[in-house]
A and B are shown apart, each in its own frame.
Chain A
Amino acid sequence: DADVTQTPRNRITKTGKRIMLECSQTKGHDRMYWYRQDPGLGLRLIYYSFDVKDINKGEISDGYSVSRQAQAKFSLSLESAIPNQTALYFCAAAQGRGGTQYFGPGTRLTVL
């Protein structure tokens, strides 16, 4: 277990607002990920980071940006939120190439 925490757990915002979702992990795992979950579509990868200086786009990165502030912290930003970004967002952490991904509890984001 990587003890992954996410803040906030719930957020309601308006179209056009800038939003930041934060993720922290306590085990010092090197790899961190951001996913979004939509009904029937499972989890889709937004961005991932293999270490502090390595950031990569995932399947659905448009409209999002990330920052790896430290080994333990990986933030997801929506520069100008839109309603179709309403979803459940999960952060995950893993250690090394073969490491299992451990997920945080999720952030439910609603964009009105």
Chain B
Amino acid sequence: DQQVKQNSPSLSVQEGRISILNCDYTNSMFDYFLWYKKYPAEGPTFLISISSIKDKNEDGRFTVFLNKSAKHLSLHIVPSQPGDSAVYFCAASEGAGNMLTFGGGTRLMVKP
């Protein structure tokens, strides 16, 4: 049973608009969450993280929101750019730096 789920396998957004990628988790012991971005033929690269003591973390165009009661997190990209087109994975762990459990990924396509 997947403990981290990304229910949307793909998302298409117009350039300049907001992209919202969602992730749900079931393990209440998870307290550290990350988003990775993956381009074809490359490994995942770290994008942004959030600890469970916060409900929001922002880094430039990227913001991650955490709703602990709903066991839900989301990544907002504003404004979306064609170069953001990639597969996005959310991941969770029990403590920062511990074993990561990944979601299945969401393919984001940003259309010019």
Q: Which A residues fall within an 8 A CB radius of B?
A: 4, 35, 40-45, 48, 58, 90, 92, 94, 96-106
How many pairs, one residue from A and one from B, have CB atoms within 8 Å of each other in the complex?
A: 55
15 pairs, CB–CB < 8 Å, chain A vs chain B: A41-B104, A42-B102, A43-B44, A43-B91, A43-B100, A58-B99, A94-B97, A97-B95, A99-B97, A100-B34, A102-B45, A102-B46, A103-B43, A104-B43, A105-B43
In whole angstroms, what is the CA distance A103 to B47 when docked?
Answer: 12
B6 contact set on A, CB distance < 8 A: 42
A104 contact set on B, CB distance < 8 A: 43
Query: Do A106 and B97 touch across chains, with their CB atoms under 8 A apart?
Result: no
Known contacts A42-B89, A42-B105, A43-B89; A101/B42 CB under 8 A: no
Question: Does B82 reach chain A (CB closer than 8 Å)?
Answer: no
Contact with A along B29-68 (1 / 0, CB 8 A): 0000010100001111110010000000000000000000
Query: Do B96 and A40 touch across chains, with their CB atoms under 8 A apart?
Result: no
A45 contact set on B, CB distance < 8 A: 99-100
